[in-house]
Chains A and B, each alone.
Chain A
Amino acid sequence: MIRIRGLQKHYRVHKRPPGVKAALKSLFKRDYEWVKAVDGIDFDVAAGERVGFLGPNGAGKTTTLKMASGLLYPTAGEVTVGGHVPQRRETEFLKKIMLVMGQKQQLLWDLPPSETFELNRAIYDVPRADFNRRLKELSELLELGELVSKPTRQLSLGERMKCELAAALVHGPKVLFLDEPTIGLDVSMQVAMRDFIRKYNEEYGATLILTSHYMDDVTALCPRVVVIDKGVLSFDGKLEELVKRVRPEKRLTLRFSAPVPREQVAELGTVVKHDHAESVLQVPHDGVNTAVARALATLPVVDLNVENPPLEEVMSELFARSRAEREVAA
């Protein structure tokens, strides 16, 4: 469905040191530098797939999504979505896709969201019966209820975001680019959004690329992740593989009925956290069974849990490694 080859986006930006002197100088002579926001990336996304597109701030995620949705023209390389070249902005293409941006809104501020829905229906040329059916489904999935008839300015951030999603989906797009769709939302609203996005993907068979700084979004929604840093891809594969590659250990949490000295726990693996009642250890994948058996046999264990390390840690380690590799290369 989505095919990206050698995609680049380079910007020329004005560079100026701080201070009045530099500001005055820049009036007459400016120094520019080229920023490689995206620097030759390749990946494909199959129809109906859910892909997490991850990277630190300024990595090139949003720029890539904007090129894939036709907003930005690539400096080089190619991108096609459902056989269309996005930059041509063909009507058929624009009817198939939607870019949802958590930080920007399209709802008419002074009017109820229902007015924006109606306007989008006309713009996307959605037949009235299809529109009514889809809006009913969206209202149920997102629990919109009376929200659609209140002026947008009176809605809370979470309520607004739900309506933003509905406005973005009334034409039933087959490809969804979701750029931080849960930003600023409280935990329960984040969960509701994730549920909705998964259901939409399943019911409409929509292809989905998601960027988010909330790793819970990624864990809950994306079996596959593509990681970008400084405009270059550093990983493309299953989420589990990424975790295994960056942190080839499992995390073993033990809770005790009586205090246990740190030294005794350290015999089982690398201690991440320890107090007398609880220990968190890192244990190699193939050593988990042995460590669990030994813990149960030798320690007063009342509860234990084996899980992957938190994705936040995995990502921050991956980015730190990438930075270190770049510094060595430089």
Chain B
Amino acid sequence: MTRYLRLFGLQFRTSVLLALQYRFDFFIDAAIGLFWTATAVVPLFVVYGDASRPGIPGWSFGESLVVVACFITLQAVLDGAINPGLQAVIDHIRKGTLDFVLLKPADAQFLVSTSRFQLWRVSGLIQAAIVFGLAFRQLDRLPSVFGVLSASLLLGVATLLLYSLWILIISAAFIVVKVDNLTYLFTSIFDAARWPSSVFRGPVKFFFTFVIPLAVMTTYPAEALLGRLELQTLGFAIAGSLTFAGVARAVWLQSIAHYSSAGG
């Protein structure tokens, strides 16, 4: 455990060194991040701007903003901590350079997952904090301490779910090699997480709750912050995400056996 913490520290240090080499990325990332934040918030003004429209059932404008803030937080975590390392795996598999990871006496999933962080994406977290602030100002109240704690826990759960989904997609790359389209599809689907889950009905709601659990990722943390999430739901979310992570781990281990080490 200590060894892996030390390894994590070193891999993180490498990312810091890389980030400092390209310092202008911070400003570029911040500008692009602002644009994406705007695209996440603007649709809410369209939905709630016209008083004649019913809005989203069960969600006021301020409450929907909390969901958007959760979405921006997760987007920053996805872009900054999950995507860079795992996206590189697809390239490693195609070029055969995953050899070097598999030859190392450390867990390969750990090594690829911590190999790269886009530190400048921390700007997304700052933008999320601003949207959280605006949302609770609109609601004219503050979240409870329990609400903040359970929301933080649920955002952790959401991160684990996102990570596990990525591991499953990457695992497919061992067999089909070109999974770029799958990653684009996943990114597009994840976009739906900016809306409270009550906008989805029927089979779509089922799909976004149990197959790709977007509801767990953004709606549940928002509900926790708003003080209306049942404790039971929190328990189910944690148990579900741990199961998901276990399945992803098993699939990853199986997939390594299919590695064909391209080239040479």
Contacts and interface: CB of A to CB of B under 8 A. Distances in A.
Interface of A: 11, 62, 66, 69-73, 89, 91-92, 94-95, 97-99, 101, 103-106, 108, 110-111, 115, 118-120, 122-125, 179-180
Nearest to A111: B17
B102 interface: yes
B228 interface: no
A126 to B, nearest CB: 11
Contacts of B102: 70-71, 89
Interface of B: 3, 6-7, 10-11, 14, 17-18, 21, 95-97, 99-100, 102-106, 111, 257, 259-261, 263-264
Contacts of A69: 103
Contacts of A73: 257
A106 B100 contact: yes
Contact of B103 (A11, A94, A105, A122): A94
A179 B264 contact: yes
Nearest to B102: A71
B103 A70 contact: yes
A27 B65 CA distance: 46
Given A91-B105, A104-B97, A122 B7 contact: yes
Given A73-B257, A123-B106, A108 B264 contact: no
Contacts of A94: 103-105
Contacts of B21: 110-111
Contacts of A110: 18, 21
Nearest to B95: A104
Contacts of A111: 14, 17-18, 21
B264 A118 contact: no
Contacts of B18: 108, 110-111
A104 B262 CA distance: 11
Contacts of B3: 122, 125
Contacts of B17: 111, 115
A104 B14 contact: no
A116 to B, nearest CB: 9
A124 B99 contact: no
Contacts of B6: 122
Contacts of A11: 260
Contacts of B95: 104
A97 B102 CA distance: 12
3 closest A-B pairs by beta carbon, nearest first, are: A94-B105, A106-B100, A91-B105
Given A119-B10, A123-B7, 7 more contacts: A70-B102, A71-B259, A94-B103, A104-B99, A108-B18, A122-B3, A123-B111
Contacts of A72: 259-261
A66 B262 CA distance: 11
Q: From B10, B18, B100, B263, name the one whose CB has the most chain A CB atoms within 10 angstroms.
A: B100
B103 A98 contact: yes
A234 B1 CA distance: 48
Contacts of A179: 264
A137 to B, nearest CB: 22
B238 to A, nearest CB: 31
A101 B263 CA distance: 10
B260 to A, nearest CB: 7
A38 to B, nearest CB: 13
Given A71-B103, A104-B100, A125-B3, A115 B14 contact: yes
B197 to A, nearest CB: 38
Contacts of A92: 105
A69 B101 CA distance: 12
B264 A103 contact: yes
Contacts of A125: 3, 105
Contacts of B263: 103-104
Contact of A95 (B7, B14, B97, B105): B105
A95 B104 CA distance: 8
Nearest to A183: B264
B5 to A, nearest CB: 11
Given A94-B103, A123-B104, A71 B10 contact: no
Nearest to A104: B97
A110 B14 CA distance: 10
Nearest to B18: A110
29 contacts: A11-B260, A62-B264, A69-B103, A70-B103, A71-B99, A71-B102, A71-B103, A71-B259, A71-B261, A72-B259, A73-B257, A89-B102, A91-B105, A91-B106, A92-B105, A94-B103, A94-B105, A95-B105, A99-B99, A101-B264, A104-B264, A106-B97, A108-B18, A111-B18, A111-B21, A119-B11, A122-B3, A123-B104, A123-B106
B84 to A, nearest CB: 13
A97 B104 CA distance: 10
A119 B101 CA distance: 12
A232 B95 CA distance: 27
A176 B16 CA distance: 33
A66 B261 contact: yes
Nearest to A103: B264
B211 to A, nearest CB: 27
A104 B264 CA distance: 8
B201 to A, nearest CB: 36
B103 A104 contact: no
A271 B18 CA distance: 62
Name, among B6, B105, B257, B260, the residue most crowded by chain A CB atoms within 10 Å (CB to CB).
Answer: B105
Nearest to B8: A122
